[in-house]
Structure 1
Amino acid sequence: MQRSAIAGVQAVAARSGRTFARHTHDQFGIGVLRQGAQASHSGRGPVQAGPGYVITVNPGEVHDGAPIGGGVRAWQMLYLDPEVVADAAADIWACWPGGGSRQFEFEHPAQDRPALARDLLALYAHATGGAPALACGELLLRVLAQAGGPRGAAPPLAPRHAVPGAIRHARGLIDDDPAAVLTLADLAGACGLSRFQVLRAFARATGLTPHAYQTQRRLQLARQLIRQGASLADAAAQGGFSDQSHMTRLFVRAYGVSPGRYALAAGRA
Structure 2
Amino acid sequence: MHRVTHYRHAAEGIEAISLNSDRAFPRHTHDEFGVGVIASGTQRSWSGRGFVNAQAGDAIMVNPGELHDGAPVGTLSDRAWRMLYLSPTLVNSIAAQEGIDYVELAHPAVHDVRLTVAVDRLFARVVHGAAPLARDEALVMLVTSLLARHTHRLLSHAGPAPEIDMARERLDAAPAAPVTLAELAALSGVSRFQLLRGFAREIGTTPHAYQIQLRTRLARALIARGSPIVDAAAEAGFADQSHLTRAFTRQFGISPGRYALTLRAASGEA
TM-score calculated relative to the size of structure 1: 0.51
Separation in structure 2 between the aligned mates of residue 17 and residue 5 of structure 1, nearest angstrom: 26
**Match for residue 42 of structure 1?**
47
Question: Which SS does the other structure have where 2:116 is aligned?
Answer: helix
Separation in structure 2 between the aligned mates of residue 152 and residue 104 of structure 1, nearest angstrom: 6
2:18 aligns with one of 13, 21, 27: 13
How far is 1:103 from its partner? Answer: 1.3
* Larger CA deviation: 35-44 vs 143-152: 143-152
1:117 and 2:122 matched: no
1:134 and 2:140 matched: no
Amino acid at match of 1:111: V
**Share of identical aligned residues, percent?**
42
Kindly report which structure 2 residues correspond to 1:155-194, keeping only aligned pairs within 5 A, or say none: none
Q: Which runs of 4+ in 1 moved over 4 A?
A: none
- 8 Å CA contact 1:25, 1:61 repeated in 2: yes
Separation in structure 1 between the aligned mates of residue 141 and residue 49 of structure 2, nearest angstrom: 23
* 1:159-201 CA-partner distances (Å, limit 9, x unpaired): xxxxxxxxxxxxxxxxxxxxxxxxxxxxxxxxxxxxxxxxxxx
Separation in structure 2 between the aligned mates of residue 62 and residue 105 of structure 1, nearest angstrom: 14
1:79 and 2:85 matched: yes
How far is 1:3 from its partner? Answer: 2.8
How far is 1:5 from its partner? Answer: 3.8
Question: Which SS does the other structure have where 1:103 is aligned?
Answer: coil
**Match for residue 89 of structure 1?**
95
Amino acid at match of 1:129: H
Distance 1:152 1:139, change over 3 A: farther
Bigger CA radius of gyration: 1
How far is 1:148 from its partner? Answer: 3.4
- 8 Å CA contact 1:20, 1:65 repeated in 2: yes
2:28 aligns with one of 23, 29, 34: 23
In structure 2, list runs of 5 or more residues that go unmatched.
1-5, 155-270
Question: Which SS does the other structure have where 2:57 is aligned?
Answer: coil
How far is 1:152 from its partner? Answer: 5.0
How far is 1:141 from its partner? Answer: 1.2
1:69 and 2:48 matched: no
* 1:66-120 CA-partner distances (Å, limit 9, x unpaired): 11115100001011111111112112x13xxxx2xx2112111100111210111
**Match for residue 163 of structure 1?**
none
In structure 1, list runs of 5 or more residues that go unmatched.
154-269
Kindly report which structure 2 residues correspond to 1:240-251, keeping only aligned pairs within 5 A, or say none: none
- 8 Å CA contact 2:14, 2:84 repeated in 1: yes
Separation in structure 2 between the aligned mates of residue 63 and residue 3 of structure 1, nearest angstrom: 22
* 1:187-244 CA-partner distances (Å, limit 9, x unpaired): xxxxxxxxxxxxxxxxxxxxxxxxxxxxxxxxxxxxxxxxxxxxxxxxxxxxxxxxxx
Question: Which SS does the other structure have where 2:51 is aligned?
Answer: strand
Question: Which SS does the other structure have where 1:26 is aligned?
Answer: coil
TM-score calculated relative to the size of structure 2: 0.51
Q: Larger strand proportion, structure 1 or 2? A: 2
Question: Which SS does the other structure have where 2:123 is aligned?
Answer: helix
**Match for residue 151 of structure 1?**
152
Separation in structure 2 between the aligned mates of residue 107 and residue 145 of structure 1, nearest angstrom: 14
**Match for residue 232 of structure 1?**
none
Separation in structure 1 between the aligned mates of residue 118 and residue 103 of structure 2, nearest angstrom: 19
Separation in structure 1 between the aligned mates of residue 67 and residue 10 of structure 2, nearest angstrom: 28
